[in-house]
Amino acid sequence: MAQQQQGAQPQRRRILAGLSAWAGAAMAGTLSGQSLTADASPSGAAGRAGIHPSMEPGDRVAAEVLIDGKAVGKLDHQAMVDGIARSPALVFPLPVGLKRVRLRGKATLEGKSGSFDTTWKVRDLAPILGPLYDQGRPWIERVRGVAAKAEFITVTPGDGGARKKPAKAAFADLEKSLGVPLPPLVKVLGDWQIQLGDSGFQSAADMAKVTDMLLRAWDYQRTGPGGLDKILPRAVQARYDRSVSIYIEVGDGLGALAWDPAGVTPGEMPNSWYSKGQSGARPGPAGEGVWFWMHQEQLHKPVLLLDEEHRPRSTESVLNAVFQSFVFLAPSESETDDELVVDTANPRLNLLQLGFDTTGQPDLSLRSYDYQYGLY
């Protein structure tokens, strides 16, 4: 995959186990996307995708999208600000069984214009992730369906922390400590042992407030040189004091998924790559809190998981993202230079980032599942 402008590199190289290292992006400039679709996908379409250009101010792209030789839409986008467009320049259908996506058109980059005509082979994650979206089945059964098809995901019945403390008692103590009920899906985790490679969901007995986890399991000190009181802003320290971790990610350092029952402060920035120029977070329903990712390399900047309306994402959406991201980033599922990965089973839009290399040739890549970075 060719190197792109504004950090639009292959996702697997940019994640660094949850480390937010990509430069910020902002709202789109002039958009005039034309699509052959309406709100609903046409007959024969399994899903939909949105193309989000990532360009420098003043750059422009006009292009036509073809799927297996059939034109499905046109886009004409001029960037007004740096980075990825938050709104899609074009939304188009992803037909069942699609094989190739072709993009042809013209781009003006840094004042230089040129033509392009590029085709990608399509690899669909739907055969693996499809069970995750079956609303007719309990969530844990949907997860088991994914595990049956994916490599390195295991879902085993049983309370993994029962020898320390049974799940029911552990959850009761945790809720008493938090002063609020846990999300119902979190309690479902107490009856299962779920591992994704070296990472995994914690047993009920191992779930703890984030600050306690940092002190006891991650070897941080509360005070002194390098202490939490030195490296964390007060607001972040307060968030860690009242939040609970449920998933530990092992990769380039340690990361964690955690839930803050207090939710967001209106206008606070999510610390995500696309938050530059945004209006900040908006509170969600009372009592639902907010989920966030944290990582050792950016401990002072937890990344709030917000939806396209800047409100906290639902618990189910956040937990699903753990499996979506793992499958997407698994070595056996990594993209090749001439390949475009999509998930036609996902009822939400596939976010496709469009960037350009130094020769003016396009690169199209899925950005929906790269942990906290996904817009959808």
| pLDDT for residue 6 is more than 80 | no
What's the rounded mean pLDDT across residues 359-363?
A: 95
How many CB atoms are closer than 10 A to CB 40?
9
Range with the poorest average pLDDT among 27-41, 177-191, 325-339 = 27-41
Q: What is the rounded CA–CA span in Å between residue 121 and residue 5?
A: 22
Q: What is the rounded CA–CA span in Å between residue 294 and residue 373?
A: 13
DSSP lists the bridge partners of residue 155 as 194
**Rounded to two decimals, what is the model's pTM?**
0.85
Q: Are 239 and 281 in contact (CB under 8 A)?
A: no
Query: Where is mean pLDDT largest: 28-32, 329-333, 339-343?
Result: 339-343
Burial of 84 (0-12, 13-18, 19+ CB in 10 A): buried
Q: Are 350 and 123 in contact (CB under 8 A)?
A: no
Per-residue pLDDT tens for 149-187? Answer: 999 999 999 999 999 999 999 999 999 999 999 999 999
| pLDDT for residue 138 is more than 90 | yes
Range with the poorest average pLDDT among 34-48, 142-156, 356-370 = 34-48
| Beta-strand relationship, 83-84 and 153-157 | unpaired
Residue 369 pLDDT: 86
Amino acid at 43: S
Query: What percentage of the chain reaches a pLDDT higher than 90?
Result: 72
Domain ranges of the chain: 5-126+333-373, 152-326
| pLDDT for residue 193 is more than 80 | yes
What's the rounded mean pLDDT across residues 328-356?
A: 86
Per-residue pLDDT tens for 108-137? Answer: 999 999 999 999 999 999 999 999 999 999
Amino acid at 343: D
Query: Where is mean pLDDT largest: 2-6, 39-43, 110-114?
Result: 110-114
Looking at the chain, which runs of residues are DSSP E strands?
A: 30-31, 34-35, 45-55, 60-67, 70-78, 83-84, 90-95, 100-109, 112-124, 153-157, 192-196, 199-201, 208-209, 244-251, 253-260, 290-295, 303-304, 339-342, 350-356, 362-366
Q: In the predicted model, what is the mean pLDDT of the chain?
A: 85
Q: What is the rounded CA–CA span in Å between residue 345 and residue 320?
A: 13
More confident call, 249 vs 253: 249
Q: What is the CA radius of gyration of the chain?
A: 21
Residue 11 pLDDT: 35
Residue 349 pLDDT: 92
Residue 190 pLDDT: 96
Of 370, 363, 322, 356, the C-alpha closest to 108 is 356
Per-residue pLDDT tens for 194-205? Answer: 999 999 999 999
Query: Candidates 3.30.450.20, 3.40.1580.10, 2.130.10.10, 3.90.1010.10; correct CATH number of 152-326?
Result: 3.40.1580.10
| pLDDT for residue 253 is more than 90 | no
Side-chain half-sphere exposure of 38, counting CA atoms within 13 A: 3
| pLDDT for residue 301 is more than 90 | yes
Per-residue pLDDT tens for 64-99? Answer: 999 999 999 999 999 998 888 888 999 999 998 999
CA 184 to chain centroid, in Å, comes to 22
Q: What is the rounded CA–CA span in Å between residue 8 and residue 84?
A: 9
Q: Are 52 and 85 in contact (CB under 8 A)?
A: yes
More confident call, 25 vs 168: 168
| pLDDT for residue 32 is more than 60 | no
